[in-house]
Amino acid sequence: MYAAGNLSFRPMKPSDWPEVRSIFIEGMNTGMASLEENPPEWDFWNETHHQTCRIILEAGTEIAGWAALSPTSRRNVYSAVAEVSVYISEKYRGKKFGSHLLNELIRQASENGFYMLQAVIFAKNEISIQMHKKAGFRIVGVREKIAKYKNEWQDMVLMERRASF
């Protein structure tokens, strides 16, 4: 548990899922947070994310955001590489909560043996790109017109952050 002012981090519990899913939907509604067309159900989400590094950010007693890691490949050689997800509730956006959450995710990922983190971000989501840059991610490339989302071709920015060896 980490606390800063009225902010605190704690592990995500299955009982958090309704609020986590609601925040995910808020992100989907921006058109800049996920290529998912429908929000996942708990069982699918749980199976597709690492069991460690599932973080809830609380502001007082409210869930302000969440972060988690998902595998980038089923191959064992990539087991220490993960993709980051960071979502902040509409109510708490613009307060640097995303940066706090991303930095905590990076810290926990390092403690859990992940040596490379990647982020795949909509090219039009400049706020998220800048937040990741400030956290030590670098742009690896732009995948142009990689996905047709909401009837519009999307460019995605691939970013990575490596542990120092």
What CATH number did the domain enclosing 7 receive?
Answer: 3.40.630.30
Residue 4's pLDDT is 53
Residue 114's pLDDT is 96
Is 124 inside any structural domain? no
pLDDT along the chain (165 residues), means of 10: 71 97 94 87 96 96 96 93 96 94 96 96 96 97 92 94 78
Is 128 inside any structural domain? no
Is 133 inside any structural domain? no
Q: How many structural domains comprise the chain?
A: 1
Is 108 inside any structural domain? yes
Residue 164's pLDDT is 66
Q: Please provide the DSSP assignment of 117-155 as one string.
A: EEEEEETT-HHHHHHHHHTT-EEEEEEEEEEEETTEEEE
Residue 5's pLDDT is 63
Nearest by Cα to 118 from 84, 155, 147, 69: 84
Is 160 inside any structural domain? no
Q: Which domain holds residue 38?
A: 2-118
Is 148 inside any structural domain? no
CA separation for the pair 16, 11 (Å, rounded): 10
Is 155 inside any structural domain? no
Residue 149's pLDDT is 85
Residue 107's pLDDT is 95
Is 60 inside any structural domain? yes
Residue 37's pLDDT is 83
The three-class DSSP label of residue 37 is: coil
Residue 2's pLDDT is 46
